[in-house]
Structure 1
Amino acid sequence: MRVLVTRPQPAAGATAARLRSIGHEAVVVPLTEAVPDLDALRRALSRPHGAIAATSAEAARTLAGLGHAVRDHLRTPLYAVGGATADAFRALGFCDVRVGPGDGAGLARRIAGDARPAAPLLYLAGAPRAKTLEDGLLAAAIAVETVACYRMKPRDAAAELAAVLAEAPVPAVLLYSAEGARLFAGLLAGIAGARHPGAAFCLSRSVAEALGGALESVVIAERPDEDSLLSRLGMPPPASMG
Structure 2
Amino acid sequence: MDVLVLRPERAATRTADGLAKLGHRAVLAPVLTIEDLESPIPAGRFDAVLATSANGLRKLARRPEMAALGSLPLIAVGDRTAAAGHEAGFTVVHVADGDGRALVAEARARFAPGARFLHAAGADRAFDVAGALARDGFATEVVELYAATPATTLPLSAAAGLRAGSIGAALHHSRRIAETFIALADQAGLGAEARALPHLALAQRVAGALLDAGCPRVVVAPRPDEPSLFEALAALVHDGSHSGGGRSK
> How does the TM-score come out when normalised to structure 2?
0.86
SS of the aligned residue for 1:148 comes to: strand
Give 5+ residue unaligned stretches, structure 1.
236-242
**Counterpart in the other structure of 2:239:** none
Provide the residue aligned with 2:9 in structure 1. 9
Measure how far apart 1:175 and its partner are: 0.3
Of 113-122 and 221-230, more deviation after overlay is shown by 113-122
Matches within 5 A, 1:223-242: 223-234=223-234
8 Å Cα contact 2:79-2:95 kept in structure 1? yes
- Which AA in structure 1 matches 2:47? G
The answer on 1:166 being equivalent to 2:163 is yes
Q: Which residue of 2 aligns with 1:84?
A: 80
Structure 2: give runs of 5+ residues left out of the alignment. Answer: 236-249
Select which of 73, 77, 81 maps to 2:69. Answer: 73
Other-structure match for 2:213: 213
Percent identity between matched residues is 34
Superimposed CA distance per residue, residues 70-128 of structure 1 (whole angstroms, 9 cap, x where no aligned partner): 33321111110111100111122211111111010111011001123865211111111
Q: Give distance in 2, aligned partners of 1:118 and 1:61.
A: 28
Alignment-derived partner of residue 148 in structure 2: 152
Query: Are the equivalent residues in 1 in contact too, given 2:52–2:76 (CA < 8 A)?
Result: yes
TM-score (norm 1): 0.88
- Which of 109, 113, 130 is the equivalent residue of 1:134? 130
Q: Deviations for 1:31-55, whole angstroms, at most 9, x for unmatched residues?
A: 1111112x31xx3154432211010
CA RMSD of aligned residues (A): 1.9
Which residues of 2 match residues 114-129 of structure 1 at below 5 A? Answer: 114-116=110-112, 120-129=116-125
Moved more, 181-190 or 220-229: 181-190
C-alpha separation between the residues in 1 aligned to 2:2 and 2:83?
A: 28
Q: Is the CA contact 2:163–2:190 (under 8 Å) kept in the aligned structure 1?
A: no
Given residue 191 of structure 1, which amino acid in structure 2 is its aligned partner? A
Runs of at least 4 residues off by over 6 Å: none
Output the amino acid matched with 1:56.
Answer: S
| 1:54 and 2:51 are equivalent in the alignment | yes
Distance across 2 between alignment mates of 1:71 and 1:227: 32
Structure-2 change in CA distance of 1:178 and 1:121 (3 Å): same
Kept after mapping to 1: 8 A contact 2:152/2:184: no
